[in-house]
Structure 1
Amino acid sequence: MTRARTVVVHPDAATLARVTAARLAVRLVDAQSTHRPVHVALTGGTVGIRILAELAASPVRDAVDWTGVHLWWGDERFLPGGDPDRNETQARAALLDALDVPPANVHAMVGPDGAASPEASADAYAAELARYAAPSSGAATVVGAGTAPSDDAGPAVPAFDVVLLGVGPDGHVASLFPGHEAVDVTDRTVVGVHGSPKPPPERVSLTFAALERAEEIWLVVAGADKADAVARALAGDDVHRTPAAGVVARGRTLWLVDVAAADGAAAG
């Protein structure tokens, strides 16, 4: 499998969020025309939540049968349920509360009110992923950070139709940060994270092994402060320095960026 990526540049962050929301709705409708259920992993951050808000305001959202969509997260802050800093809480306010998604289809990572540690939360989420694993999935082994996924059984995760990811100024994706040991985890689908350089220090994250089983991965990035990270990632930087460089989908990997975030790549 090649490591080819497609880069789509939008004029500004507002356009990026609006067009990505429409793109996601169309992708879900197309997916539902061939199979059910559909599995999507959401992301947090300013742009990630703005995409959800744009989708909530779009009439295109009603073309999706949300009762047949399962929603997951690429990572979560290890905070109690309902905390305003949780990706889940922000996603519910931006979009999910306005949809008819069955509660059982919203797969949130538990915080300290439901798990004794980030590792316990990670274990619970790994078990939840395995419950909905694609028929060809097997044990959570084989795929390593930054390697193109093979056609073997692979880790026990759902057949993600789309995984949305943001990219930090340091090049992190999900809660896989530069220099952190989670980048090298190959035998688990979910990992507890300690010492995050962004607060809070404790988080839960999908690993590369889980992310790379997605049919499509969309890395959505806006802002001049992300330009250097985007340039390094697209140039194939070491994943220990720029984790985003190691993200590749089974099918299509899209970099959806605004002009400010693309400037570094263009200069390179």
Structure 2
Amino acid sequence: MSTSMNARTGSLAQSQEQSQPQSPTQALAIGNLDVTIGDHPILTQVSLDIGVGARVGLIGASGSGKSMLSRSILGLLPSHAHASGSIRLFGHELIGASDRELADMRGRTVSMIFQNPASALNPVMKIGRQIALPLQLHYHLPADERLRRVKAMLSKVGVPQSMLNAYPHQLSGGQQQRVAIASALITAPRLIIADEPTTALDSITQLHILDLLVDLVDQAGASLLFITHDFGVLTHVTSRCYVMDHGHIIEHGATSQMLENPVSPVTRQLAQSAEELKFATLHDRPTNEGDDDGRGRE
């Protein structure tokens, strides 16, 4: 083979290698996002990124724009809202995506855990059916396979399989949140958005749920955006966070450093009002503490 042929072959191989799609290093990359409703700005020049497998926090007071940002990511903005800028989910641009593309993305690639499971869960649908619903919507699986996966997920989140046919009102608050987590994770999404998922729970149940969520996210190799108003919770779950105020990102960095040495007045106020989680993590708790199944206090 001639030298020129070798050069051309090498050039072609290099070109093909360069043309191969690269795995994104960012699970979520938001750049200069603006959201307006009429003439009223809701989010202004918001930029945020989450690495693949990372757990990142978003903290701010009520009305700061946190929930509107999560709705923007999920493609669930009000019909009269306008979004511009960029939201890239594992390299795929969501701004301008069709309703069908966004619907397919929700539940398959990204899932949401809501603040109040009692209102997020369907009160007249059995929990087994609710957990299986995302599988039915996104994947053509036979009923017996869906049931197998639901039972496996119930075991993972610590809900007895005997409660498969229970209704949400028959569960405690902690159990309801476990079911909500199961519903969010059943399709193995690559990004989970948790919007104040433990606000309505007592401190011990809160720790159970936080440790469960972290364990499941890490085991799955998924990424997490954890939304809260409480730095005490955020330090338990994330290593990096963003502070939002009036629709702007005003500060970001390592969660522990921002709690100890906040720069902006808003961050200082949030840090001062942090509710400490005064209990050891469940991994450090003696096995004989609590009820026999570790869930009785929920």
TM-score, normalised on structure 1? 0.36
- Who wins on radius of gyration, i.e. which is larger? 2
Q: Please identify which structure carries the higher helix content.
A: 2
TM-score, normalised on structure 2? 0.33
